[in-house]
Structure 1
Amino acid sequence: MNAAYPYTVDSQEGDGYLVQFLDFAEAFTEGATLEEAAFNAVEVLSLVIEQRLADGRAIPPPSADEGHPLAYPQASAQAALLMRQAREAQGKTLADMARALQTSWPSAQRLEHAGSNPTLKQLERAAAALGKRLTIGLA
């Protein structure tokens, strides 16, 4: 599963750069430099994904990048997003996950909440319950 979201960067009149995500109308930011704009892109992407997860709203898969720059959400948002996507792809509910992990529904729900900071061991168990394997990479 992929969590790299493409965005556009446009020079603003006067100074700085405007960032807008292709997949989230509410995700936009700016920066004085391209580096600052890219940093802020990660921040706003993470916040939008965290809020959508908290609200139970849909999160679209990333569009094809077609040469656009990419932003990955922060690790906590990315882990929660990937857990939700994997669970939903298998048609499982949070109750199904709780049963598979032999835990409570709130504990299973925390795996899909970016602020809960599950341990690697918890993520590995959840991935295994979904027939997956946890992998870690640097981008």
Structure 2
Amino acid sequence: MEIRYPATVEQQEDDSFLVQFVDLPDTFTEGQTREEALFNAGEVLSAMLAWRLDEAKDVPAPSQKVKGAQYIAPDAKTQAAMLLRLARGERSLSELARALETSWPAVKRLEDPTHWPSLKTLDRAAAALGKRLVLVLE
């Protein structure tokens, strides 16, 4: 699964660019150039999703095929936390900890968007959830 959120990019009267996320109306940013605005959008998206995860707030799934939208991915830590939480589904953290033969706090850190899990740990967690870890560089 790939996590990319659709956003609209609009040039403003002062020639700056405003980026607003379709699925997260309270998440927006701007930049003096289109490139700066899109870079800032990745940063603000990561921060907002991390906050929602930390606060146990609802994290909406990204809309697909939004006409004219620019799709933006959050940072790797936030994506990893979201993907593991989605893959875990209704399974408890304790169940995953037993499958990984580790502690509950260690598994809880895997869903913490401020934590950098190792690739080995992510791969083991994916396998325990019946998934496969796939990396993509852009």
Task: State TM-score, norm by structure 1.
Answer: 0.94
The code of the aligned residue for 1:42 comes to: G
The code of the aligned residue for 1:92 comes to: R
Distance 1:66 1:97 in 2: 38
Alignment correspondent of 1:76: 77
Alignment correspondent of 2:130: 131
The code of the aligned residue for 2:69 comes to: H
Consecutive unaligned residues of structure 1, counting only runs of 5 or more, are none
Contact preservation (8 Å) 1:4, 1:73: yes
Alignment correspondent of 2:59: 59
1:20-60 Cα shifts (integer Å, max 9, x gaps): 00111221000000000110010001001111111112211
Consecutive unaligned residues of structure 2, counting only runs of 5 or more, are none
Alignment correspondent of 1:12: 12
CA shift for structure 1 position 2: 2.5
CA shift for structure 1 position 94: 1.2
1:115 is paired with a residue whose SS is: coil
The code of the aligned residue for 1:133 comes to: R
Q: 1:14 to 1:67 in 2, by over 3 A?
A: closer
Alignment correspondent of 1:49: 49
2:87 is paired with a residue whose SS is: helix
Q: How many corresponding residue pairs?
A: 137
Structure 1 runs (4+) deviating above 6 angstroms are: none
1:76-97 Cα shifts (integer Å, max 9, x gaps): 1111111111111xx2111211
Alignment correspondent of 2:114: 115
Contact preservation (8 Å) 1:2, 1:62: no
1:70 is paired with a residue whose SS is: strand
CA shift for structure 1 position 15: 3.0
CA shift for structure 1 position 13: 2.1
Distance 1:44 1:119 in 2: 24
The code of the aligned residue for 1:46 comes to: S
